Amino acid sequence: MSKDLTTKSVEELAPLIENKTISPVELTKAVIDQAEATQEKINSYMAIYKEDAMKEARKAEDEISSGNYRGMYHGIPMAVKDNIYMKDKVTTMSSKIHKDFVSDYDAGVIKKMKEAGIVFTGKLSMHEYAWGITNNNPHYGAVRNPWNLEKIPGGSSGGSGAAVAANATAATLGTDTAGSIRIPSSANGIVGLKQTFGRVSKYGVYPLAWTLDHVGPMTKTVKDAAGLLQVIAGFDKNDPTTVNVPVDNYMDQVTGDVKDLVIGVNEDYFFNRVDSGINKLVRAGVQKLVDQGAKVQEVKIPTLQYAEWAELVTSLSEASTIHHSDMLKRPDDFGNDIRMLFELGELPSAVDYLQAQQVRRQLKQDFQKAFEQVDILVAPTLPVLPNDIGDDFADLNGEKVDLIDNIIRFMGPLNLTGLPALTVPCGLDQGLPVGMQLIGPAFKEGRILNAGYAFEQTNPMEGKKPGILETV
């Protein structure tokens, strides 16, 4: 029974906890057992908080038993990415430089999660300083994809994606600067949401690039993501980038009704140079929404042709500024891959950076015009499948292409614009998960969550599970 518990989504677990069919203690023990059983193979955790988690679970059980149920995530065991500060816990950023860093305060999202009664099972591995998409970490080892242990899990939230897919956490949070929630969510066959910039506090989250960073849910189902966004969303006086607009009731907006929803498709950019198997699955996904009453319209977003350059200049410049001092004092303590990126980030001029911001402004306007014609946009999450660990190239219709350039192509524009984007699993190609990305106007997370839920109900994964679940 306990192993079966780890396979359930939070939307399935919550009523069982509320009506006391299962206890947070029983569930937490099952999740930690699964985390320990899968750790050697997938290496998703940086640290497991076994003793603390069981203590928190007992507290949650006592609260619920005495009639103080706080909501959907009360008593749910979760680990989070290791760049999110927790008071008195080591937060390494999966780096050598910060391997002993202990925060004396909780991140804004952790504070909200504690208020919701979430049980913390540990910290999850990431690409060093969140600056990469493979999670092949030189200091702590590679995280492996539960669907195929030879493949990357995506990054930088690779530990988060792998842990959810392997049932080693009930849900999690990742961070996303150029796709770091959506890439591993797609690669691991789970749901990932990068909400609107300013919707969720980044206070107490180690930055990669200030103006591009987001924190968001990575979950088994769309409703799990909606419920977790409900927990973490909202203005935070400690984060000046948060926007003081009311938080919607996301769960109420997830009805599955997409009749007359107008789906925008941008062929020139978002369906250009996509691996054929992925292209087929995503277009089939659009058709499944059409079958439920949605309509499709092609849209043009001209400035997308400059988006990759603008995102690269912005992220390189901001990231290199953050790590400038350590690069001068202790460059050899960085992994080779990210040290090179931080060196590159010293090259763009102020003119380059400011030109990139002009592109960014125009790109926002182009998307705004598109959303005057359509309700959401749909695109592949990734144009290529996860590649082998240690390989710098991906396969695109038989052609070897640069992995990083391709895997972030459809990611960066949504970080530049700050628009909400959701990835949902849309099937398997060559035994590996493929994601479909749904993009919405600013602060319309409910709209993309609802469309994602409508698609999810068509059972695109046909009940298929990662291979690792058969061996542990």
From the list 94, 156, 201, 317, the catalytic residue is 156
Asked about 41 being catalytic, the answer comes back as: no
Asked about 156 being catalytic, the answer comes back as: yes
Asked about 95 being catalytic, the answer comes back as: no
- Amino acid making up residue 301: I
Q: Of the candidates 121, 17, 110, 22, which has an alpha carbon nearest to the alpha carbon of residue 71?
A: 17
From the list 29, 81, 194, 202, the catalytic residue is 81
Distant-in-sequence, close-in-space partners of 354: CB < 8 Å, separation ≥ 6: none
Beta bridge partners of residue 297, listed in sequence order: 264
Tell me whether the omega of the peptide bond preceding residue 156 falls within 30 degrees of 0, making it cis. Answer: yes
From the list 44, 94, 157, 180, the catalytic residue is 180
- Residues designated as active site: 81, 156, 180
